[in-house]
């Protein structure tokens, strides 16, 4: 069976990467295969996770490339081309990609965002900031969204969403954990399978 070749772009702990690796092992992801992990941070724990799973990994650090976004993106593009990548998954990747990068891969880059887009998204909304905003606004329901990536931060077409109820005693940290467990780790693998399946048709 022909499988879509997947690259996962990471910057930190790699919990979403782990969810994808587990989903691949359990057969949730069957139309695609993670063949490459690219980290923007040489000390990201995600690299350990890739090594444990026997997945090739590379580091492309903007700092090591003199801080140039163009050189940074060129480095990533070279790796994607060399490995014949069909689908790019952003999993806790802390760099905003330029329009010249995203336009190369229309409907081939997906991202998971820890809110129900269009709430609490866009420039500046990442990590705990998203959950702090949801709590301070007083919403009763939040969740996660998997979407295609285009030149607008969190602006691409939505692929899948899952809601998570907010509890009275939630902190940004407890909410972040529950959104990961109940939403992100569930819908990201399913969205990857859905997009991979379409790519290999």
Q: What is the 3-state secondary structure (H, E, C) of 33-93?
A: EEEEEEECCCCCCHHHHHHHCCCCEEECCCCCCCCCHHHHHHHHHHHHHHCCCCEEEECCC
**Residues 6+ positions from 27 with CB-CB distance below 8 Å:** none
Residue 187: pLDDT over 90? yes
Residue 26: pLDDT over 90? yes
pLDDT digits (tens, 9 = 90+) for 49-63: 999 999 999 999 988
pLDDT digits (tens, 9 = 90+) for 94-116: 888 999 999 999 999 999 999 99
Question: Residue 33: which CATH number?
Answer: 3.40.50.170
Count of structural domains within the chain: 1
| Range with the poorest average pLDDT among 65-74, 168-177, 182-191 | 65-74
Model pLDDT, residue 119: 96
Determine the length of the chain: 201
Residue 93 — very low, low, confident or very high, per pLDDT cuts 50/70/90?
very high
Residue 64: pLDDT over 90? no
The answer to whether 130 and 113 are in contact (CB under 8 A) is: yes
Mean pLDDT, range 137-166, rounded to an integer: 96
Residue 201: pLDDT over 90? no
Mean pLDDT, range 128-141, rounded to an integer: 97
Residue 16: pLDDT over 90? yes
Model pLDDT, residue 94: 87
Residue 87: pLDDT over 90? yes
Residue 131: pLDDT over 90? yes
160 vs 5: CA distance, rounded Å: 21
DSSP state at residue 201: -
Nearest Cα to 112, choosing from 50, 195, 49, 31? 195
DSSP reduced 3-state for 30: coil
Catalytic choice (49, 108, 113, 131): 113
142 vs 68: CA distance, rounded Å: 35
Q: Is 113 a catalytic site residue?
A: yes
Model pLDDT, residue 66: 80
**Residues 6+ positions from 186 with CB-CB distance below 8 Å:** 162
Helix, strand, coil fractions of the chain, as percent rounded to 5: 35, 20, 40
pTM for this model (two decimals): 0.95
Structural domain boundaries enclosing 159: 4-199
Model pLDDT, residue 65: 79
């Amino acid at each position: 069976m022909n499988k879509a070749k997947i690259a996962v772009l990471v910057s930190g702990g790699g919990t979403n990467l782990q969810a994808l690796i587990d989903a691949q092992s359990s057969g949730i992801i069957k139309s695609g295969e993670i063949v490459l992990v690219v980290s923007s941070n040489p000390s990201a724990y995600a690299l350990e996770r890739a090594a444990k799973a026997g997945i090739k990994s590379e580091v492309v650090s903007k700092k090591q490339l003199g801080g140039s976004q163009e050189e940074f993106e060129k480095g990533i593009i070279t790796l994607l081309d060399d490995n014949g990548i069909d689908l790019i998954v952003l999993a806790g990747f802390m760099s905003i990609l330029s329009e010249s990068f995203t336009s190369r891969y229309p409907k081939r880059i997906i991202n998971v965002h820890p809110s129900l887009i269009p709430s609490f998204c866009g420039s500046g909304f990442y990590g705990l900031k998203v959950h702090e905003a949801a709590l301070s606004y007083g919403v009763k329901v939040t969740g996660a969204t998997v979407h295609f990536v285009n030149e607008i931060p969190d602006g691409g077409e939505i692929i899948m969403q899952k809601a998570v109820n907010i509890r009275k005693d939630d902190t940004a940290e407890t909410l972040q954990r529950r959104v990961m467990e109940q939403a992100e780790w569930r819908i990201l693998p399913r969205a990857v399978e859905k997009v991979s399946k379409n790519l290999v048709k």
